[in-house]
Amino acid sequence: MLTSCTTDHPTSSDAPVANAHVAGELHAGLLAREAWISPKFLYDSLGSKLFEAICELPEYYPTRTEASIFERHGAEIARAAGANATLVDLGAGNCAKAASLFPLLQPAQYVAVDISTEFLCEALGRLRQRFPQIRMEGLGMDFSQRFELPPQVRQERRLFFYPGSSIGNFNPEEARAFLDRLRAQCGPDGGLLIGIDLAKDKAVLDAAYDDALGVTAAFNLNILRHVNTLLDADFDIRQWRHHGFYRPERGRVEMHLEARTAQEVRWRGGSRRFAAGERIHTENSYKYQQADAIALLERSGFEATRVWTDPQRWFAVIHAQAA
């Protein structure tokens, strides 16, 4: 489903969704032997605001570390990416990361893409006032399964911007398929500017995904409220607790919700009995070795031209061009 912020009444992802694909995906995940909910459903309007708060936490290093890379190496990044591009911001959220690069990248068109349409359109409305000289489009869409840009997006020099290591939410096979889809939309003169979180100490990662204030817990629990809205479900959020931890043997952080008590949950078209201690898997966040990240891009038809990291080598920003 594609919604444009240029419409008078954008469809909010918070509204009940009469979408067979969404309902079917949620239904299948909740009834799986090990229950799961896709992390894309973390980002309704409230979830997006909670994630903004997470990015301000002292434990959550990715946002500030990536920002420090752009601040230190912004001029070099701009030279590698080039000006006058069609900047396609994937998972744009509040658009702040891309906006901070506008003075350097000077895009001809900015295209913000996010699953949380209402939140995106509000952010884009503010951004248009700050940068009236840049053509802007807002696209409310789920790009995790399929991806095709509409005609209003310029075909020339498409630069896909995918910061924050969101690529880590895909398993390696899904990440390859996703990058293949980007390459197909790139054209011969396009490219990719991507942030990738690198593997590091378990204690650092555990704290980043289970902060002392409990903001990440609220963010994770909010997915049940969102599912209640989408499926007319009756999850009692008070009966669930958050777990976030790094599994080095799998190279990823996992987030789960654990049932505090035995309970039955009903939704439109189904139900499930959860035992006390049973979990719903809500997110993976893979952490890469730098060489593995470059190899993944190359297998998807991109050629890495430059890599920038912070002094601790916790995070990498990579520019890759269509090969």
Cα 245 from Cα 38, distance rounded (Å): 17
Query: Reduced to 3 states, what is the DSSP secondary structure of residue 230?
Result: helix
19: confidence class by pLDDT, cuts 50, 70, 90: confident
- The yes-or-no verdict on residue 61 having pLDDT over 50 is yes
Judged by average pLDDT, the poorest of 19-28, 66-75, 309-318 is 19-28
What confidence score (pLDDT) does residue 187 get?
Answer: 87
What confidence score (pLDDT) does residue 5 get?
Answer: 79
Average pLDDT on 283-289 reads 97
Judged by average pLDDT, the poorest of 2-6, 13-17, 156-160, 185-189 is 13-17
Cα 238 from Cα 229, distance rounded (Å): 16
Query: Reduced to 3 states, what is the DSSP secondary structure of residue 110?
Result: strand
321 contacts 302 by C-beta, under 8 angstroms: yes
Cα 163 from Cα 192, distance rounded (Å): 10
DSSP character at residue 265: E
82: confidence class by pLDDT, cuts 50, 70, 90: very high
- The yes-or-no verdict on residue 146 having pLDDT over 90 is no
- The yes-or-no verdict on residue 14 having pLDDT over 50 is no
- The yes-or-no verdict on residue 87 having pLDDT over 70 is yes
DSSP character at residue 156: T
Structure-block tokens of residue 179: 């990058």
Per-chain mean pLDDT for the chain: 93
User: Which sign does the torsion angle of CA 97, 148, 296, 254 carry?
Assistant: positive
Task: Scan for tokens 């650092």, then name that residue.
Answer: 204
Average pLDDT on 31-49 reads 96
Neighbour count for residue 319 (Cβ, 10 Å): 23
pLDDT in tens, 171-203: 999 999 999 999 999 989 999 999 999 999 999
168 contacts 287 by C-beta, under 8 angstroms: yes
Judged by average pLDDT, the poorest of 35-44, 140-149, 225-234, 260-269 is 140-149
Query: Reduced to 3 states, what is the DSSP secondary structure of residue 19?
Result: coil
All domains of the chain, ordered by start, with CATH?
61-200+287-322 (3.40.50.150), 203-286 (no CATH)
Judged by average pLDDT, the poorest of 10-24, 124-138, 167-181 is 10-24
- DSSP-assigned states of every residue in 164-219: TTGGGGS-HHHHHHHHHHHHHHH-TT-EEEEEEEBP--HHHHHHHTS-TT-HHHHH
What confidence score (pLDDT) does residue 222 get?
Answer: 98
pLDDT in tens, 237-248: 999 999 999 999
Task: Scan for tokens 């290093």, then name that residue.
Answer: 61
Pairing of strands 302-309, 315-322: antiparallel
